[in-house]
Amino acid sequence: MTDWSPPRTPKGQISRVPQMSGLDGMRALAVVAVMVYHANNAWLHGGFLGVEVFFVISGYLITLLLITEHERSGRIDLKQFWLRRFRRLLPALFVMLALLTAYMAVSYTQARGRVRGDILGGVGYISNWYQIWVGAGYTAGEAFAPLRHLWSLAVEEQFYLVWPLVMVAILWKGRNRLPRMALWLFGLAASISLLVAVLFVPGDIDSVCRPELMTGYWRIAGRCISINDALYLSTITRGGGLLLGAAFAMVWRPGAIMRSPMQNKGPLVDLVAVIGLGLLGLLMWRTHLAGPAETQLTGSRFDPVLFRGGLFASGLATVMVIAAVTHRRAIIGKILGNPLFRWIGTRSYGMYLYHWPMYQIIRREAGVPLKPWQFALAMAITLPLTEASYRFIEIPIRRGRVGDWLRADRRRPSPEVAARRRRAAVAGLVSVMVLGFAGVSIAMAPNRCLGAVECANSEGAALVASQTTVTQPAPVVVAAATTTVAAAAPVEPATPTIPGQTTIPGQATIVPPPTVPPTPAPTAPPVPIAPIAVGESVMLGAIQQLQAGGFNVYAQESKQGSWIAQVIGELRAGGQIGDTIVIQTGTNGPVSADMFAQIMALLPAADVPHVVFLTVKAPKPYIDANNALIWSLPAQYPNVTILDWAGLALQINGELSGSDGGVHLRTTKAKQFYANYIFDSIGHRERVLPLPE
C-alpha cells in the first residue's frame, strides 16, 4: 500500500458518498436494455448502449469513492481498494465460470475445445483483448460463444487496476486542481471519440480477411485484426465513458452540491435528466452495432452513427441523468429508485453474468434471435441464479461473513457449527473434484467445428485438401532387344553363312534377332470426363454427396463470380471440362452480366453442351437481381439450363441453417436433397439416393 498524503488534510468532507438509489435504477435500465438486445436485437437495436451507461456510472462512482477516501484519511489505500474490488467482482465470476465449465464437460462436449481460450480470458480479465486477437467479437459467426459478454467486465477491471494510480498522482497535487483536471479528462474523452471516428471503417466489411482485400482489417503479427471490432472492444477506445464519469465526479459531488447554489435547482436537473433519458432512448432505438453486409453474404456493415459520435453522445446523456439521481431534491432519483428498479439494479452484476450463457445454452448459436418463449425461459432460469449469487456469494463475501464464519468458535465449535463445517467440507471436496474433471476435459479437448455452416465448410475444405495430390509423370518403360551369343566353336570356312549373319574369324558368331514388324496397339475408347461442379459455400456443404455421384467439385467459402470464372478458365485450359458443368454463384455478392459473359465465353456450346446454373438464396437485397440475370442466360446461350434452387429450397427450409436466414445446408438430408436435385436435372437418375430420415 502506497501512502501519497498531501501536506495537510481539510477537516470538512464534501465528497461523502450517500446512498443513491437512483443509480441502482439506472443500472436496472441499463442491464434490462442489454439483456433485451442480446436476446433479439430486433427488439431494441441499440440496447448494447446499456454497457456505456455502466461505464459512465463506474467511472463516476469509483472516482467519487477515491476522492472521499482521500478527504477522510488524506491518502488512498490502494491495497484495500483493490481488495474491495476483487471481493466485489471475482467470486461471482469464478462461480459462473465453474458452473459453465461443469455444464460443458457433461452436456455439451462438442464445444469444450472452443471455449478454452474464452475461459482463460475471463479468469484473467482480458476477454476484450482476447476477442480482438482471435476475431471473436459480436459480429463473429461462432456457433457457441457463452462468454462473449465478458469483454465489458474486462474493460472495467482494467480500469479499476490503473485508475487508482492515476488518482493518487492527481490528488498529490491537491484537490483544488480537480475542476481543472475534469476539463482535461473531458477533452481526453472527446479526443478518444474523435480517434474512433477517424479510424472507423464504413461500408461492408468481409468476414473473411484476404491478403488481396484488407479493407477493414489491420495485419498485426501475422494476424488479421478487425478494425471496427477493435474500436468497439478495446479498453483504450472504450475508455471515453469511464473518463466522462470520472470527470463528472470531480465537479459534481453530492455533498458539495447541497452546499452550493445548485442545492435548490432540483427541477432544473430533473429537466436535464429527462432530456438525457430521451437521448438515451432515441440512441437505443435508432442505432445498431452492425448489420449484415448489403453487397455480400458473409460480411458486416457497422453503424457509422455509433462510431462517429454515438458512443460519446450516450456517455453525455448518462452524465445528464447522473446529475439528477445524485441530487437530493430532484424527483428523477426517487422515480428511478423505486423498489423494483432497486432490486434489479442491486443484482445487475449477476444478471449480466448469467443471462448471456443461458441464452447460448438455449439457442446454441450466437446471433440467432430468441423467441419470446425462449426469452421467458432464460429469465426464469437466470433470475433465480442471480438471486442465489447475490444472497450466498456476493453479499457474504463482500461483507466478510465467510471469514467471520470460518473464524467463529475455532477452538471448541458447537455441534451445530461442526456439522455445518463438515457439510461444507464435503460439498467443497465434491465441487473441487467436479471442477477438476471439467477443467481437465476442457484443457484436453480438441478444437472442433460448431454449427451447421462452420462444420459444413470445414468438412468440405478438409475433403478438398485431402484429395489434392501432386500428379507424378508416368514412368517410361524401355524394352531392350535380346542378344543371343552362340557357343564358341571352330569356324569351318566351307560352311555357308546365314544371310545377315556376321562372321569374324576366331570369334563367336553373333546372330541378331529376326526383324518382326510391330503389332499396332489396340486403340482404347476415350475415357469420359466426369461432370464438373463449381460453386460457393452452399455447394461446398454437399461436396461428399456430389462426389459420391461422380462429380468433380471445385467449391470454396466466401467466393464470388470472379473466382468462379478463374476456376473455370483453369479447368478449360487443362482440358478437364467435359460435356456437363454445374455452376452456382451470386450468393455472396452481386454478379454482373459481364461476369456471366466472361464465364460463358469459356463454355461454348460446341464443346460444353450442358451448362447448368443454379439460382441463389440469401436474405440480401442483391439476390433478386442476381437471379434475374441467371434466369436470362438461356435466351443468350442455348447450352444453358437453369435450376431454381431458390424456389426448391423452400421445401426443406427447416433443414437449412437458421443463423444466416436459411442459406446453407444444415443437415445430411438437406445436402442429399441438393445433390439429388442436380443429379436428376442432368439425367443422373441412377445417382439419386433416398433422403435420410
Taking the C-alpha atoms of residue 407 and residue 140, their distance in angstroms, rounded to an integer, is 48
pLDDT tens figures, 520-548: 656 656 667 889 999 998 999 899 899 98
Mean pLDDT of all residues in 367-390: 94
What does the pLDDT average to over 198-208? 90
User: Rounded to an integer, what distance in angstroms lies between the CA atom of residue 455 and that of residue 461?
Assistant: 10
Give dist(CA 150, CA 158) in Å, integer: 12
Cell (9 digits) for 143: 456457433
The 10s digit of each residue's pLDDT in 277-322 is: 999 999 999 999 998 887 777 788 999 999 999 999 999 999 999 9
Greater model confidence, 222 or 636 = 636
Q: Average pLDDT, stretch 556-579?
A: 88
Whether 56 and 319 have beta carbons less than 8 Å apart is answered as yes
Closest to 186 measured CA to CA, from 259, 242, 138: 242
User: Residue 4: its pLDDT value, please?
Assistant: 37
pLDDT at 406: 56
- Three-class SS state of 469: coil
- Tell me how far apart the terminal alpha carbons of the chain are, to the nearest angstrom: 68
Share of the chain above pLDDT 90, in %: 52
> pLDDT at residue 475 above 70?
no
Rounded Cα gap, residues 80 and 102, in angstroms: 33
Q: What is the dihedral of CA 661, 665, 669, 672, to 10 degrees?
A: 140
**pLDDT confidence of residue 410:** 59
pLDDT band at 179 (very low <50, low <70, confident <90, very high): very high
Across the range 414-418, mean pLDDT stands at 70
pLDDT at residue 454, as a whole number: 65
pTM, rounded to two decimals? 0.80
| Grid cell at residue 344 | 434489479
Phi-psi region of 203 (alpha: psi -120 to 50; beta: other; left: phi over 0): left
Write down the residue that cell numbers 465453474 correspond to.
98
Under the banding of pLDDT at 50, 70 and 90, the label for residue 377 is very high
Single-letter amino acid code for the residue at 533: A
Rounded average pLDDT over 664-682: 89
Grid coordinates of 49: 448502449
For 105, residues 6+ apart whose C-beta sits below 8 A from its C-beta are 112, 437, 438, 441, 442
Give the separation between CA 274 and CA 271, rounded to whole angstroms. Answer: 5
Q: Which residue from 63, 67, 81 is spatially nearest to 14, judged by alpha carbons?
A: 67
* C-alpha span between 421 and 418 (Å, rounded): 5
Task: Kindly state the DSSP code that residue 580 receives in the 8-state scheme.
Answer: E
pLDDT band at residue 479 under the 50/70/90 scheme: very low
Q: List pLDDT tens digits, range 29-39.
A: 999 999 999 99
Q: What is the CATH number of domain 532-687?
A: 3.40.50.1110
Give the mean pLDDT of 611-617: 94
Q: Determine which of 72-76, 436-440, 604-608 has the lowest per-residue pLDDT on average.
A: 436-440
Q: Which residues of 274-292 are buried (b: 16+ CB within 10 A; e: fewer)?
A: eebbebbbebbeebbbbeb
What is the arithmetic mean of pLDDT over 550-568? 88
* pLDDT the model gives residue 463: 63
pLDDT tens figures, 106-153: 887 777 888 888 999 999 999 999 999 988 887 776 678 899 999 999
C-alpha dihedral sign at 109, 114, 117, 119: negative
pLDDT for res 457: 61
Q: Is the pLDDT of residue 446 over 80?
A: no
Q: Is residue 628 predicted with pLDDT exceeding 90?
A: yes
Residue 60 to residue 54: CA distance in whole angstroms: 10
- 362 pLDDT exceeds 50? yes
* Coil/strand/helix, residue 581: strand
pLDDT for the residue 497: 39
- Crossing angle of the two packed helices 311-325 and 266-286, in degrees rounded to 10: 150
Residue 348 has pLDDT above 80, yes or no: yes
How confident is the model over 600-612, as a mean pLDDT? 92
How large is the average pLDDT for residues 383-394? 94
558/377 Cα distance (integer angstroms): 36
Residue 541 in contact with residue 665, Cβ under 8 Å?
Answer: yes
DSSP result, 251-296? H--HHHHTTSGGGG-HHHHHHHHHHHHHHHHHHHHH--SEEE-SS-
Sign of CA dihedral 69, 75, 79, 80: negative
Taking the C-alpha atoms of residue 58 and residue 349, their distance in angstroms, rounded to an integer, is 12
Domains of the chain, by residue range, sit at: 21-407+419-449, 532-687
For residues 217-231, give the mean pLDDT: 92
Average pLDDT, the chain: 83
Place of cell 435420410: 692
How far is it, in rounded angstroms, from Cα 522 to Cα 524? 6
Beta strands 580-583 and 610-614, pairing class: parallel
> Distance between CA atoms of 354 and 193, rounded to whole angstroms?
31
pLDDT higher than threshold 60 for residue 665 = yes
Characterize 30-50 residue by residue with b for buried, 16 or more Cβ atoms within 10 angstroms of its Cβ, and e for exposed.
bbbbbbbbbbbbeebbbbbbb
Instruction: Give the relative orientation of helices 78-107 and 116-123 as an angle to the nearest 10 degrees.
Output: 160
The larger pLDDT score, comparing residue 276 to residue 14, is at 276
**Cα angle: 663, vertex 666, 670; to 5 degrees:** 90
pLDDT at 450: 67
